[in-house]
Amino acid sequence: MKTVLRFSLLIFASTACSPAPLQASEACAGAELRGNFRSEEQSEAPGVSYVRAGRLIEPEKGAVLEDQLITIKNRRVSAIGPWAQAPSDGPLTDWSAYTVLPGLIDMHVHLADAEQSSNVAEPLLHSVADIAYLGAANARKTLEAGFTTVHDVGTFRALSDVSLRNAINKGLIPGPRLNVVGAYITGAGGGGEVNSALAPDVEVPADMRAGVVKDANDARLKVIWLLSRGADSIKLIATGAVLVAGGGVGIQELTDEEMKAAVDAAKSRGSWVTAHANSAEGIKAAIRAGVKSIEHASLIDDEGIALAKKNGVYLDMDIYCGDYIDKEGTAQGWHPDMLRKNRETTEVQREGFRKAVKAGVKMTFGTDAGVFPHGLNARQFKYMVRYGMTPMQAIQSATTTAAELLGWEKDVGSLTPGHYADMVAVSGDPLKDISELEHIDGVIKGGELVR
């Protein structure tokens, strides 16, 4: 989490391109739009349907196939082969004029929070109902932008992300498949505690303090509590943050013992842990504690890169955010400390990203959407290419590699048989111009035509 205070009543209007609807023949009629795969298996499955792909990018194989027919049964891909003739036993979505690739995955979003503001009291201005409606709107924007799966890495209203995920799973609202963390595990006075920036006699609701820990045993108990209440994974606030007033990104806010206790508790229950970590030493401490991934990694050094590579730890670096913060934060009058720290870390983070890509560290696509408007997630792709990735590597970071980090690689991130029929269509070729992914023309999730 590059920011901790990301609140605003303003819901930004998406500036993503909205081209004319694609031509489809009643694709997958009658089935309800579902959330992640766990509840989809329990819902009534639609019949067979088909998608004709003019060009198919398959990141699992790093291959591009021409004029393919994708067969969908029970919301999953059952077969892929060269186009011969129109099938007669099910509806066909004709994407023969488009490039098709798996539904995209953003590994760092905050759907169930309001967007960034410099007002440190902003969390206290929103009810749980406010957050629920905003989360629903953000989920729809994200899905329609082509992100059919996301890792929602935190909210100040504990478990509101769990409720959002469940509403999507039940078909009550449209949205991507969600893997959620429930709340931030943070030290007292740390970046994940709302009242760390308020007057000492200001009390906040108990759900805003659900993840605050005082020692290693408390960290263990809070992890168990979150997982028992429906969290899928755990998020630690290991170090200071950029977008808070005061403090420093170089401060380690959770002890080595607290992080290790949290990791062990999560692993014992079949889950995993990611860590918000900006400082070089905090990053290395979190890796040694056993986290599976690092968020931001703004000040990662060569030793940290080598340690991540050695331990198979994923780096999830939001290298687009810096430009947005500098431009919009300055225009909107965000706190000078936030803007200063952003300027001090933006290019350092990008250089660390370049080094990590060159070193062969596992890299995932994570944007910190919520700092900037939801639905604009794909703007980061061109930054990843600019700072060292090939277009195929950037696509893999948001498909196969992200699915591996989630532990969902058998279900999402690929369009090979057995995977969910999550896919997007673009009119151009993202392997020639990765920014084509900013202009999604069509989205299918679980065999359902979303747009």
Nearest to 371 by CA among 276, 250, 233: 276
DSSP 239: B
- Of 127 and 284, more confident: 284
pLDDT (0 to 100) of residue 376: 97
Judged by phi (left if over 0) then psi (alpha if -120 to 50, else beta), residue 51 lies in beta
- Of 52 and 12, more confident: 52
User: What CATH superfamily classification does 104-406 receive?
Assistant: Metal-dependent hydrolases (3.20.20.140)
Read off the pLDDT of residues 162-173 as tens digits, 9 standing for 90 and up. Answer: 999 999 999 999
Q: Where are the domains of the chain?
A: 37-103+415-449, 104-406
User: In which order are the strands placed within the sheet that holds 234-237?
Assistant: 212-213, 184-187, 234-237, 273-277, 293-296, 314-316, 363-364
* Rounded CA separation 401/59 (Å): 9
Q: Tell me, what amino acid is at 318?
A: D
Judged against a pLDDT cut of 90, whether residue 152 lies above it is answered with yes
For the ranges 57-61, 83-87, 194-198, 373-377, which has the lowest average pLDDT? Answer: 194-198
The H-or-E segment that residue 291 falls in is none
Q: Which residues contact 341 (CB under 8 A, 6 or more apart)?
A: 242, 243, 248, 249
- Of 138 and 203, more confident: 138
Q: How confident is the model at residue 10 (pLDDT cuts 50, 70, 90)?
A: very low
Judged against a pLDDT cut of 60, whether residue 239 lies above it is answered with yes
- Of 27 and 216, more confident: 216
User: In which order are the strands placed within the sheet that holds 76-82?
Assistant: 76-82, 63-73, 49-58, 92-102, 423-426, 442-445, 448-449
Residues, the chain? 451
Judged against a pLDDT cut of 60, whether residue 354 lies above it is answered with yes
Nearest to 212 by CA among 234, 192, 241: 192
Question: What share of the chain in percent tops pLDDT 70?
Answer: 83
- Of 30 and 151, more confident: 151
Q: Which residues contact 432 (CB under 8 A, 6 or more apart)?
A: 391
Question: What share of the chain in percent tops pLDDT 90?
Answer: 74
* Rounded CA separation 38/116 (Å): 32
- Of 365 and 41, more confident: 365
How large is the average pLDDT for residues 232-253?
88
Q: Pull the structure tokens for residue 252.
A: 């380690």
Q: How confident is the model at residue 342 (pLDDT cuts 50, 70, 90)?
A: very high
pLDDT (0 to 100) of residue 126: 72
Judged against a pLDDT cut of 90, whether residue 12 lies above it is answered with no
Judged against a pLDDT cut of 60, whether residue 20 lies above it is answered with no
* Rounded CA separation 440/297 (Å): 29
Judged against a pLDDT cut of 90, whether residue 399 lies above it is answered with yes
- Of 246 and 33, more confident: 246
Task: Label residues 384-421 b or e (16+ Cβ within 10 Å = b).
Answer: bbebbbebbbbbbbbbbbbbebbebbebbbbbeeebbb
Q: How confident is the model at residue 250 (pLDDT cuts 50, 70, 90)?
A: confident
Whole-number Cα distances in Å, 419 to 8, 66, 127, 447: 37, 20, 38, 11
Judged against a pLDDT cut of 60, whether residue 319 lies above it is answered with yes
pLDDT (0 to 100) of residue 195: 59
Q: How confident is the model at residue 19 (pLDDT cuts 50, 70, 90)?
A: very low
Judged against a pLDDT cut of 90, whether residue 423 lies above it is answered with yes
pLDDT (0 to 100) of residue 35: 36
Q: Pull the structure tokens for residue 121.
A: 């009291």
Q: What mean pLDDT value characterizes the chain?
A: 87
Q: How confident is the model at residue 23 (pLDDT cuts 50, 70, 90)?
A: very low
Q: Pull the structure tokens for residue 17.
A: 């391109």
Judged against a pLDDT cut of 50, whether residue 31 lies above it is answered with no
Query: What fold does the segment set 37-103+415-449 form as a domain?
Result: Urease, subunit C; domain 1 (2.30.40)
pLDDT (0 to 100) of residue 38: 53
Judged against a pLDDT cut of 90, whether residue 443 lies above it is answered with yes
Judged by phi (left if over 0) then psi (alpha if -120 to 50, else beta), residue 204 lies in beta
The answer to whether residues 137 and 364 touch, using CB atoms and an 8 Å cutoff, is no
User: In which order are the strands placed within the sheet that holds 104-109?
Assistant: 104-109, 147-152, 177-180
